[in-house]
Amino acid sequence: MDNLGKKNRQQDREKELNKIRQYCVKKLEEIKFPSQEVFLVSSYRMNDFDFSRFCKVVESDLSENKRHVFNLSLPNFSTDVIEMKKASLHQKILAAAAASFVAGASPIPGTSLEWDIAILVKTFLEIRKSFGLDDESLERLALKVGKSVEVLKAEVKNPFISDISTASVMRLIATSVAGAVMIAAEAVQLIPIVGSLVGVPVSFLTIYTILRNSLDEFGKSAVRVIIKATEK
């Protein structure tokens, strides 16, 4: 009986929403508005109504660069948005790896590793903010959903996400296979000419691998936070 009642309420809800849509379409037709496509959205319940469909329609009309900017600007209100952001952040990862590629050509020993660490810190911070996992975003979300920020932060299981710094990135490099390759390449740079030839591709692949492998972990944390935030 409970399931039947829930189904009936859902059907009644859809009927009312369709009435609203039809009313809006009628009014748009009356003023001869060029498009009569209507989306019902709520700033308080973004994971409800037509906001996801609206985002997909807008996204389909944008160029690739604008699409990435649009995706990253979206609030984290559903797992679909997280997946969209992951796809766009992959482009940011490629850009970071390309910057490392350029820095890797430096003939001065030690500078390539310093640049790589700086690039990783900057990119990790941008990824964290894009997924709404920084303190400011979590506090804003906690206030919006009426839950304590500690409850939301508890869903960020990986301590690295909450503590991104030069020191933590260096520890990440030291404990990863890709990082070991990076350090070895830095040692090879002590050899003139050969060092630069080795360092350039290694820097690109290492930065790309570290960021790509971490992206999923950031995404999983973002999904857990969303689920906890919308939990009744």
The count of domains in the chain is 1
Ranges in the chain, pLDDT < 70: 1-10, 36, 44, 47, 103-112, 176-202
The residue among 134, 138, 115, 112 whose CA lies nearest residue 125 is 134
The residue among 170, 147, 160 whose CA lies nearest residue 217 is 160
In this structure, is residue 56 part of a structural domain?
no
In this structure, is residue 103 part of a structural domain?
yes
In this structure, is residue 23 part of a structural domain?
no
In this structure, is residue 179 part of a structural domain?
yes
In this structure, is residue 47 part of a structural domain?
no
For position 152, what pLDDT does the model report?
Answer: 95
For position 211, what pLDDT does the model report?
Answer: 92
For position 7, what pLDDT does the model report?
Answer: 55
In this structure, is residue 226 part of a structural domain?
yes
pTM: 0.72
Domain that holds residue 128: 76-230
In this structure, is residue 114 part of a structural domain?
yes
Q: pLDDT by residue (tens digit) across 30-71?
A: 888 877 688 888 776 776 778 878 888 887 888 877 887 877
For position 137, what pLDDT does the model report?
Answer: 94
For position 204, what pLDDT does the model report?
Answer: 76
For position 177, what pLDDT does the model report?
Answer: 53
